[in-house]
Chain A
Amino acid sequence: MAKIMMCGNEVIGEAAVHAGCTFYAGYPITPQNELTHYMSFRMQEAGGTFIQAESELAAINLVFGAAAAGARAMTSSSSPGISLKQEGISYMAACQLPAVIVNMMRGGPGLGNIAPSQADYFQATRGGGHGDYRTIVLAPSTVEEAWDLTHLAFDLADEYRTPVMILGDGILGQMMEPVEAVRRHLHGKGTGLNPNKPWALTGCKGRKPNVIKSLLLGEGELEELNRILQIKYGKIESKEPRFESLYTEDSDLVIVAYGTTSRIVRSAISKARREHLHVGMFRPVTLWPFPETQLQKLARKTKAFLVVEMSAGQMVEDVRLSILGQRPIHFHGRAGGGVPTEETIVEMIRDILKPRSKKRVYA
C-alpha cells in the first residue's frame, strides 16, 4: 500500500477526524503548531468546528462546551499551555465529560524552551489540576502509534466519560515517518461514530432537563461524586494498563522508558545486545494507569532496573512504587530540553551489568 510521510502532530489531527472528532479548539504554541494548522482546514473539510481560541483557557472551555453538548472534542498544546488548561481539565473530570487533550511537551519550568521534554509526567499522571482526579494518559512512541492511540483516546474518553491526554514531546510532534497514504484526506465526516450520550445537553425535548455540573454543596454530595470517580478510576486501573516489553524474558537489566526516549533506549539496547549484554526494555504505553503489576512481575526475573527520562526524574517514582525496593533502580534523566544519548545509555548498561570500578554510581 502507498505510504506518505506525516509528522506526529498531523497524524494525530487526521486520526482525530477519522475517530469522529467534530470539534477542535487550540491556541498556537511550539512544538505542536502543525496540529493546529492541520485541524484549521481539516475540521472545515470534515464538517466540524475549528476555533483558534484567544487563550488556552478559552480553548479548553470551548472543548468543555462541545463535550457537554455530546461532540467528540479535542484540544492540543504544549507544556505552558497545558498548565493553563488544567482548570478546564479538572472541571471536565468532575463533570465526567469526555475529551482528548494533546500535550507535546517542551522544556520547562516556566516558558522554558521549545526542545523536547518529558517533564510534565507528574502533571499529566496525577491529575494536574485541583481535586482528586486522574486523566488517562497515553504515550505514543512512533507516528504510527500516535494514529492508533488517538483513536483509543477518543474511545476511552467516551467509555469512561473522562478526559484523556495524549502525551508526546517535541520530537514526536515534529518528526515525520511513513504512514499509510489512505489515512490522509479522508474527505467527509470521518468514519468514527459518536456513541449515544444520553447525558449530553441537546435540548430537553421528550426528556427531563440534563444538567452538567460539578458544584455539589449538599451534605455528602461531593463525597459521593468522589466515590463514584474513584470506583471509575479503579476500573480503569485494573482494565486499561498497556505496555510493550522487549527482551524482558532473559534480561538482567530492564530499562523503563516511554515515548521518544524509549526509541533512543531501543537503539542503545540493540548496541548493548551485540556486546552480549542481557538488557531489555519495558515501555509503558499508558502512563496512567501505570502498568504497575506488569512491571512488578519483572522484578522476579531481572536483577536491576534503569529508568531513562527527559526529566529530572518523574516516572522513576512510579517505577519505585511498583518495584517496592525489591531491586535496585538506577536513573538517567536530562531536564530542560536535553535528550539522552544512545552512547550514554549504552555506557550505563555496561557499568550496571559489568561494573569496572565502583566509582560510578547511578541513583
Chain B
Amino acid sequence: MKKIFERPASLKNVPTHYCSGCGHSIVHRLLCEVIDELGIREDVIAVCPVGCAVIAYEYWDFDCSEAPHGRTPCVATGIKRTHPDKIVFSYQGDGDLAAIGTSEIIHTANRGENITVFFINNGVYGMTNGQMAPTTLIGQKTSTSIKGRDPVRDGYPIKMSELLAQLPGAKYIERVTVSNPANILKAKAAIRKALKNQMEGKGFSLVEVLSPCPTYWGLSPKDAYRRIDDELTKHFPLGVIKDI
C-alpha cells in the first residue's frame, strides 16, 4: 500500500507539550515538512525563543539553540555570520519579538541579515499564564487586562510586520494564518519562500503566523480558529506585506 501521509523526518516522534488546538503544533509540522522537502535538515540551525515554544528543540530533529528572551535574532545572527552556508532561522512569539526583543528584531532586519524569522502571533502570553501581549486586541481579556485591553491604559496592538516592512533591509514579509486548510497551505508556501530566500542569499525574510491560543482566549479550539478569521485578521490583515 502506498503511504500518502507521514511524519516529516525533521519532526521527532514524540508527543508535544502544546495544549490541544494550539497553533504551534501546526507551524512546527509545516516547518519540518518544508525543511524535508528542501532537503536542508542537516544544514538547518534553529534558535528557539522564550515562550511556549521554548523547548521546540525537543521536537525538531536538527541543530538548535535557545536564546535569552527577545535576543533570538541576535543569536541567530551570530550563528549565521559564523556559518553563512547554513540555514538559520529564529522562531519567536509575540512577547519575544514584539515586546522584549523589539530592538533586536528591528536592528536585525535593518542590517538585512540573511536569516529567516517565524513570528508566531497569538496575542497573548501563553507560557506565563495568559497576560496581555503587545499584539493583544483592544477589548481582549487577559490576566493583566481583566476588563479587556484599554488603549488609554495599555496602548494599541502593534503591527510588527508592517513596522518592519519600512526597513530597507527587510526583503520579504508576509502574514499568514493556520485557521483552516486553505490558509495552512498558504502558510506553508510562505514558510518555503522565506527559507528559499535565505538559501538564495536574498536577505531578511519574516513570516508572521496568526495562531490560536484556545487556552488563554478562553475558547474551544474550533471557536479559537473562528476568532482568527472573524477578529484577528481584521486588525492584522493577511497577505504579502513586502516582497522585493
A adjacent to B, CB under 8 Å: yes
Q: Chain B residues with Cβ under 8 A from A68's Cβ?
A: 65, 75, 78-79
In the complex, are the beta carbons of B66 and A69 less than 8 A apart? Answer: no
A-facing residues in B57-71 (Cβ within 8 Å): 57, 60-68, 71
Interface pick from A115-123, A207-215, A243-251: A207-215
B-facing residues in A55-72 (Cβ within 8 Å): 55, 57-58, 61-71
Q: Chain A residues with Cβ under 8 A from B80's Cβ?
A: 65
Is A191 an interface position by the 8 A CB rule? no
In the complex, are the beta carbons of A203 and B66 less than 8 A apart? Answer: no
In the complex, are the beta carbons of B68 and A58 less than 8 A apart? Answer: no
Is A186 an interface position by the 8 A CB rule? no
A204 vs B80: C-alpha distance in the bound complex, in angstroms?
15
A189 vs B65: C-alpha distance in the bound complex, in angstroms?
27
In the complex, are the beta carbons of A62 and B78 less than 8 A apart? Answer: yes
Is A305 an interface position by the 8 A CB rule? no
In the complex, are the beta carbons of A23 and B81 less than 8 A apart? Answer: yes
* A55 in complex: contacting residue of B61, B64, B76, B103, CB < 8 Å: B103
A267 vs B10: C-alpha distance in the bound complex, in angstroms?
65
In the complex, are the beta carbons of B78 and A67 less than 8 A apart? Answer: yes
Number of A residues, CB within 8 Å of B: 40
In the complex, are the beta carbons of B74 and A202 less than 8 A apart? Answer: no
* A213 in complex: contacting residue of B42, B60, B66, B103, CB < 8 Å: B66
In the complex, are the beta carbons of A69 and B45 less than 8 A apart? Answer: yes
B45 CB to closest chain A CB (Å) equals: 5
- The prevalent SS among residues of B at the interface is helix
In the complex, are the beta carbons of A25 and B78 less than 8 A apart? Answer: yes
What is the chain B residue whose CB lies nearest that of A217?
B55
Is A22 an interface position by the 8 A CB rule? yes
What is the chain B residue whose CB lies nearest that of A67?
B78
In the complex, are the beta carbons of A202 and B75 less than 8 A apart? Answer: no
Is B128 an interface position by the 8 A CB rule? no
A-facing residues in B34-92 (Cβ within 8 Å): 41-45, 47, 54-55, 57, 60-68, 71, 74-83, 86
Q: Chain A residues with Cβ under 8 A from B77's Cβ?
A: 51, 62, 65
In the complex, are the beta carbons of B43 and A205 less than 8 A apart? Answer: yes
A73 vs B107: C-alpha distance in the bound complex, in angstroms?
20
In the complex, are the beta carbons of B65 and A58 less than 8 A apart? Answer: no
What is the chain A residue whose CB lies nearest that of B107?
A54
Is B104 an interface position by the 8 A CB rule? yes
In the complex, are the beta carbons of B76 and A203 less than 8 A apart? Answer: no
Q: Chain B residues with Cβ under 8 A from A87's Cβ?
A: 68, 71
Most chain B CB inside 10 Å of its own CB: which residue of A62, A67, A71: A62
A88 vs B71: C-alpha distance in the bound complex, in angstroms?
9
What is the chain B residue whose CB lies nearest that of A210?
B63
Q: Chain A residues with Cβ under 8 A from B55's Cβ?
A: 215, 217
What is the chain A residue whose CB lies nearest that of B78?
A65
B51 CB to closest chain A CB (Å) equals: 11
In the complex, are the beta carbons of B103 and A54 less than 8 A apart? Answer: yes
Is A95 an interface position by the 8 A CB rule? yes
In the complex, are the beta carbons of A61 and B63 less than 8 A apart? Answer: no
In the complex, are the beta carbons of B71 and A58 less than 8 A apart? Answer: yes
A201 vs B60: C-alpha distance in the bound complex, in angstroms?
14
B140 CB to closest chain A CB (Å) equals: 28
In the complex, are the beta carbons of B68 and A91 less than 8 A apart? Answer: yes
Query: Given A51-B81, A65-B75, is A58 in contact with B66 using a C-beta cutoff of 8 Å?
Result: no
In the complex, are the beta carbons of B103 and A65 less than 8 A apart? Answer: no
In the complex, are the beta carbons of A202 and B103 less than 8 A apart? Answer: no
In the complex, are the beta carbons of B44 and A203 less than 8 A apart? Answer: yes
A210 vs B42: C-alpha distance in the bound complex, in angstroms?
11
* B45 in complex: contacting residue of A203, A214, A217, CB < 8 Å: A203
Q: Chain B residues with Cβ under 8 A from A215's Cβ?
A: 54-55, 66
A214 vs B75: C-alpha distance in the bound complex, in angstroms?
14
In the complex, are the beta carbons of A58 and B103 less than 8 A apart? Answer: yes
A25 vs B44: C-alpha distance in the bound complex, in angstroms?
23
A55 vs B102: C-alpha distance in the bound complex, in angstroms?
12
What is the chain B residue whose CB lies nearest that of A69?
B82
Q: Chain B residues with Cβ under 8 A from A322's Cβ?
A: none
In the complex, are the beta carbons of B86 and A64 less than 8 A apart? Answer: no
A219 CB to closest chain B CB (Å) equals: 15
Is A294 an interface position by the 8 A CB rule? no
B-facing residues in A20-74 (Cβ within 8 Å): 22-23, 25, 49, 51, 53-55, 57-58, 61-71, 73
Instruction: Knowing that A63-B78, A88-B68 touch, tell me 9 more A-B residue pairs with CB under 8 angstroms.
Output: A49-B82, A61-B67, A62-B81, A71-B82, A73-B78, A203-B45, A205-B42, A211-B63, A212-B64
Chain B positions within 8 Å of A, measured between CB atoms, are 41-45, 47, 54-55, 57, 60-68, 71, 74-83, 86, 103-104, 106-107, 111
Chain A to chain B contacts (Cβ below 8 Å), 13 pairs: A22-B82, A49-B82, A53-B74, A58-B103, A61-B71, A88-B71, A91-B68, A201-B63, A201-B79, A201-B83, A202-B45, A211-B65, A215-B66
